[in-house]
């Protein structure tokens, strides 16, 4: 529910001012036409008071019923009926206001101009009121749609984040299972690291954005877990300027890319593999890049590409842009790049 538009906030001041101006105009017209001062004053006051009452009724009625079709017919017919009702009531009041000779003067030259003026006022009032309520309904509809879209986006973002974790969890559990018999201490260490990793994941579920430094700490923990699996073969370098560490980024946006880099960098290859993480500023973006060696046709692991597709979808839901995530392959090096818009200070 919302307040009456004629008395909402400061609108009552404008409404009363308009009524006062109308009353003054009617008084000047009839007084200059030869009618008595008292008669012109009473007419102006009663006419304006009646007009105000009809206006309040009109706006209140349109509040609950404003048609979507045949609007012009509705406004024309409604204003015609209201102006007739207004004129009939005034005709009933005239004997109480004017003397007999004044009634003759009033009704002959001023009846039709006054009626047409009243008709125009009511038609304008109905049109403005109808437009006001249409805009109000449109704003409410847009607000509901925006809220619905927001809930849908948040639900999809949550679903995407949840879908990113099981693959890594299953691989880690398989590695723990393999280490329990041969290297129980290492398996125990991996269990503790895995526990810290998912505890951090749960904390980040409530945050829409986190500092880059926090995401890098999270990635470092992830790498420590993977290094238990792959040993010295997995190496990583991080090149990030300290001035960028406080910039906000979506949580868990780097882990799927890092997982993809490890998967396609180590599977099907021998020897050490170095994965490079780089962050730099390229206004108006914070640019994050993860690069890994890539040997085409070497029997590397196959995948559905869900992790990278999920990242692109998340970025679109957060920033409404499809150009924030790109990949490229050049001379045996695969690079995934993310651009995060930097908020204005």
Under the banding of pLDDT at 50, 70 and 90, the label for residue 81 is confident
Closest CA to 334 of 292, 289, 276, 303: 292
Above 50 in pLDDT, residue 312? yes
Decide which of 259 and 161 is more confident.
Answer: 259
Confidence tier at 1 by pLDDT (50, 70, 90): very low
pLDDT digits (tens, 9 = 90+) for 204-243: 656 678 899 988 988 888 888 888 777 788 888 999 988 9
Lowest mean pLDDT among 18-27, 229-238, 302-311: 302-311
Predicted local confidence at residue 253, as pLDDT? 84
**Poorest-pLDDT segment among 22-26, 47-51, 297-301:** 297-301
pLDDT band at 341 (very low <50, low <70, confident <90, very high): very high
Q: How do strand 273-282 and strand 234-240 relate by DSSP bridges?
A: parallel
Quick one: pLDDT at residue 189? Answer: 82
**Ramachandran region, residue 331 (left: φ > 0; alpha: ψ -120 to 50; beta: rest):** left
Contact 105, 35 (CB under 8 A): yes
**Nearest residue to 221 (alpha-carbon basis) of 255, 183, 260:** 255
Band (pLDDT 50/70/90 cuts) for residue 184 is confident
**pLDDT tens digits for 238-291?**
999 889 999 999 887 888 888 888 887 776 567 788 899 999 999 899 999 999
Stated as kind and residue range, the H or E segment containing 181 is: helix 100-182
d(CA 121, CA 87): 13
Contact 269, 295 (CB under 8 A): yes
pLDDT of residue 156 exceeding 80, the answer is no
Judged by average pLDDT, the poorest of 41-55, 162-176, 177-191, 314-328 is 162-176
Q: Residue 3: is it exposed, middle or buried by C-beta count within 10 angstroms (0-12/13-18/19+)?
A: exposed
Domains of the chain: 11-145 (no CATH), 183-341 (3.30.565.10)
Helix (H, G, I), strand (E, B) or coil at 2: coil
Whether pTM > 0.85 for this model: the answer is: no
Cα–Cα distance, 219 to 60 (Å, whole number): 61
Q: Mutual orientation of helices 100-182 and 71-97 as an angle, nearest 10°?
A: 140
């Amino acid at each position: 529910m919302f307040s009456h538009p004629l008395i909402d906030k400061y609108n009552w001041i404008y409404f009363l001012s308009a009524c006062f101006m109308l009353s003054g105009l009617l008084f000047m017209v009839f007084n200059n036409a030869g009618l008595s001062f008292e008669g012109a004053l009473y007419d102006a006051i009663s006419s304006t008071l009646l007009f105000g009452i009809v206006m309040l009724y009109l706006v209140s009625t349109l509040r609950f019923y404003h048609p979507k079709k045949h609007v012009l017919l509705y406004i024309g017919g409604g204003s015609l009926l209201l102006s007739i009702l207004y004129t009939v009531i005034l005709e009933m009041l005239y004997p109480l206001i004017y003397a007999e000779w004044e009634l003759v003067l009033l009704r002959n030259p001023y009846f039709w101009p006054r009626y047409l003026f009243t008709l125009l006022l009511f038609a304008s009032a109905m049109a403005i009121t109808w437009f006001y309520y249409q805009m109000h309904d449109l704003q409410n509809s847009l607000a509901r749609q925006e809220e619905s879209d927001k809930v849908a986006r948040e639900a999809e973002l949550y679903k995407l984040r949840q879908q990113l974790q099981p693959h890594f969890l299953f691989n880690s559990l398989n590695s723990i299972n393999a280490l329990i018999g041969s290297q129980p201490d290492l398996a125990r260490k991996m269990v503790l690291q895995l526990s810290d990793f998912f505890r951090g994941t749960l904390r980040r579920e409530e945050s829409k954005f986190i500092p880059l430094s926090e995401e890098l700490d999270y990635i470092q923990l992830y790498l420590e877990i993977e290094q238990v699996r792959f040993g010295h073969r997995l190496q990583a370098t991080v090149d990030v300027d300290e001035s960028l560490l406080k910039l906000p980024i979506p949580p868990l946006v780097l882990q799927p890319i890092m997982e993809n880099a490890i998967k396609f960098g180590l599977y099907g290859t021998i020897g050490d593999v170095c994965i490079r993480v780089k962050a730099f500023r390229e206004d108006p973006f914070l640019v994050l890049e993860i690069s890994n060696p890539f040997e085409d046709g070497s029997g590397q692991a196959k995948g559905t590409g869900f992790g990278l597709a999920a990242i692109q979808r998340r970025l679109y839901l957060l920033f409404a842009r499809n150009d924030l995530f790109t990949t490229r392959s050049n001379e045996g090096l695969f690079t995934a790049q993310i651009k995060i818009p930097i908020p204005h200070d």
